[in-house]
Structure 1
Amino acid sequence: MSSNQQNQDQEQQRAPSPTNQSTNTHENGDTSTSRSDQDEWKQRPPYQIHRSSDSFHAVWNGKCHCGKTRYQLSRDKPLAAKYCHCTTCQRLHGSPFQWAAIFHKTDINFTHGHHDLAWYDPSECTTRHKLPCKVSCAYCRTPIMDEGRNMILLFPTLIEGINSKEGREAFKPECHMFYSRRVVDIKDGVPKWDGINEESKRMDEDGNIIEDEHKKEGGEHEQKRQKT
């Protein structure tokens, strides 16, 4: 398989965006589930609502464009934040790239609208809750997050105070992914990768593969292999 094909496959794996959930279909594809089965997802993170008696301390607040979907975050900074230039993110967000911040599913608490969310499965182009999927406000269609099997990817521009010094520092991206598919050059000094970070080749500010570094990494991997 060529490196381009591998990157395309990786893109499909990480993509997920908005849509109406009029057919409330779940991971097994069964649309004939009972009402209790359909509502069961509301009792699990990230959709489970934390009551005031719970030990959930809100640090950040976020909301969609219309304000019908609102949430809180209990972590002062994400586990990681990245820019993704894959074509799936470009198309689903209608922008040059996606800025995503990774959190645990238990780090979020929806205070409004968690029952009016819409899902989209980009791998099958269906509006069902199949992981990984895109999650959006069913009313204004603002992308809320990518829900993975273990984590969620939130979009920092929805966070109140993100334009403050504290906000910019807390959600500062650590790298650019799929930079070879960029539609704009971003010479910001942030590390750039041809595909998924740490799993692909590093690139310079002009989008060229850093061959020397790639060879060095290959040599280090070979040395480790010989020692084992």
Structure 2
Amino acid sequence: MSSPARSHPLAHGSCFCKAVTFHINDMDAANCAWNMYCHCTICQRISGAPFVHSIGFRNGAITFNPPLPEDSDESNSSVLGIYHTSTFLSRIHCKRCGTNLGGRGRPSANNPDSFLHGVVSVMSGVLAPEIRPKFQPQGHVMYKFRITESAANDGLPKFDEFPGEN
């Protein structure tokens, strides 16, 4: 049984220029496919960072504006872009500002019943700041590709802002 439609989304976010927005309308644990740090080489190259925090949902829990095309990875939108990064995942980005918003699982010839098929994910950094604390990562995936050990225990100084900035 699906959850009733909500008049207000439970979470929302956007790209940097706000040309592409999204709403998460159902955060039911059954619809959450993952909430993890990903260390895969594709995430590293797309983000330019050693790892990303991604949250994936099933069953249409995330809606984008402009909308994602339903059965295609071709977007007719002037701002919403979709880029194939592998046989099983396409990345969603803003064509205007370049923000990597997340991804969408695709069925592959080798695995038409892939775990990722039907899953849409967003990066935690594109969530509205007040929403981010609700999504604490549950683990690390693709850890064998890590560039660095977790920043939490690395012994380096931690700064709230750039050093020297007030």
Query: Partners in 2 of 1:177 and 1:123 — Cα distance?
Result: 17
Q: CA deviation at 1:109?
A: 2.2
| Residue 24 of structure 2 is aligned to residue 73 of structure 1 | yes
Can you give the 5+ residue segments of structure 1 that lack an aligned partner in the other structure?
1-53, 125-130, 190-204, 206-228
Q: Percent identity?
A: 23
- The structure where strand makes up a greater share of residues is 2
Which string of whole-angstrom CA distances, capped at 9 and with x for unpartnered residues, describes residues 183-216 of structure 1? 1211659xxxxxxxxxxxxxxx9xxxxxxxxxxx
Whether the 8 Å CA contact 2:27–2:61 is kept in 1: the answer is no
Corresponding position: 1:55 with 2:30: no
Contact 1:81 1:171 in 2 (8 A): yes
- Does the aligned pair in 2 maintain the 1:84–1:178 contact within 8 Å? yes
Listed as ranges, the gaps of 5+ residues in structure 2 are 69-76, 106-116, 155-166
1:110-189 correspondence to structure 2 within 5 Å: 110-112=64-66, 115=77, 116-123=79-86, 132-148=89-105, 149-161=117-129, 164=130, 167-168=132-133, 170-186=134-150, 188=152
Cα 1:98/1:117, change in 2 over 3 Å: same
Q: Which structure is higher in helix share?
A: 1
Distance 2:89 2:149 in 1: 29
Name which of 40, 62, 81 aligns with 1:108.
Answer: 62
Change (3 A) 1:102 1:187: same
| TM-score, scaled to structure 1 | 0.49
The structure 1 residue matched to 2:51, chosen from 92, 97, 104, is: 97
Higher relative contact order structure (alpha carbons within 8 Å, sequence separation ≥ 6)? 2
Q: Give the whole-Å Cα distance in 2 for the aligned partners of 1:182 and 1:98.
A: 11
Find the structure with the greater CA-based Rg.
Answer: 1
Where in structure 1 do 4 or more consecutive aligned residues deviate above 6 Å?
A: none
Residue number in structure 2 paired with 1:34: none
1:88 to 37, 42, 54: 42
- Please state how far the C-alpha of 1:85 moved relative to its aligned partner: 0.8
Partner of 1:46: none
Question: Which amino acid in the other structure matches residue 121 of structure 1?
Answer: H
SS at match of 2:44: helix
Deviation at 1:132, TM superposition (A): 2.5
AA aligned opposite 1:117:
L
Is contact 1:70-1:113 (8 Å) kept? no
| Contact 1:69-1:113 at 8 Å conserved across structures | no
In the superposition, relative to structure 1, how do residues 88 and 167 fare at CA in structure 2: closer, same or farther (>3 Å)?
closer
